[in-house]
Structure 1
């Protein structure tokens, strides 16, 4: 697989919380659900997203916003409108006095709002992000990354909104896959159209030398790669590879490989029942002790404790 595919292949939305919202002004929703990744797709009207000290972001029809990080934000008809609705972890919605609004604002299957047909309509999707491999990519995005409607014409936006109007068997899985695809498309489009915002390895992946080295390491992290071995595979000298890789990626090939192996290991510890020894071998460590030492240095916790904490959280 290409470099981006290996980064995103580890991520799958499962049980994404997806709703079509119909709102009539004035409205302001304080989102405090602590979801690490969310998508907002504007269907009709205009709304403003305000988060911390960042300037308010205005969204219009067809715009898509990728919201990352667990910090709360407010989504409103105007930046000045005070929040009257709070979305809490688990998708629970309440007013400021704590009253549950899930019944009073429910408008049918996966539809929610304060009007049957509001002057503002949007789709929101939020879900857990458990992949440490994928977070290496999403961590490079700003808190709110917007793909303007006029800059792309992606059919996934229409497919997602159309699917929400149905109530068919298997819809949960379909919606999970659609938000996965829309996230990939939005991230890819943003990095391709806004030079300088992508992580350095993104641009380096298109380099004829460094891109091949990245693909080799991503595809087979368990292989006992050395600088000499990698240089030989791409037919350049050791010095040329080291210099070119550092210039494009910002770290040495071996340092990058170490980071990649540990991110893959973190995902394996969370998502599989493989022993620590098996995980160590799968990501290229000859001994569980060496792996545990490197893992604890990176994540400040031993692999077994990391796995236990992940399971408790899930």
Structure 2
């Protein structure tokens, strides 16, 4: 396990990427990242073979002519080692997406690499869930918060804006994810601690708020940012909840955003989480956010018995005092 303090010095590569975010913000850059399927459809258009502007370069991940961009921007990309040769042009290794007033660095399309850092529609829905929960039920001052499997850091950043005095820990098994999350947090003015780990075993104490947006698709390639394991991709979500719930302080919450495969009308993840909450003497609020996503997965053998994949919100709360 590797601990990185948010207060440590900034490396040259980190400084370059912070400069990239500043450059794009000053240019009023905005981009909303779609699903990979939509991204592929847009790029299949004849007009989308070469970048024409910054949104094409940092949003649509199109190759560009080095002569067409500001020399300062090109130097920033090269200093960060985040540009590569593609054909007779160059391509950014990163995308940059809008999240409220913040810009979030994540992996360029297509996200095929084992260390890819994903950001997309699920990230926006997760952010909306966190805003809704913390607006309706604000956290106390000085709350301890952990974002499990933080990825690009979107969940913790959104929560930090609503809980400015929180003590924040962001974890991930992917060093590259933590690298980008650290930069994204700094650019958003969020101070946090970063821990390279796959569980909470070596992070001490209890937490007032646990956030989790785990992968929930059964991925044959086993990509960490996408593969949710057994239960048609739901096992990782259940495992995270099993880790998180015992670490909740009195009155603490676990906000879990994930997906669940529905088989013969049954939601097995909901059933398992209901049993877990009862065993731990916690309250569970569970709802479907979207009843049908990633329908193309049903064509694979892994989903031969699945009728739909639902996006769900599970908010698990430890009672402030037991009756």
Which has the higher Rg, Structure 1 or Structure 2?
1
More helix by share: 1
Point out the structure with the larger strand share: 2
Question: How does the TM-score come out when normalised to structure 1?
Answer: 0.31
Q: Which has the higher contact order (CA 8 A, sep 6+)?
A: 1
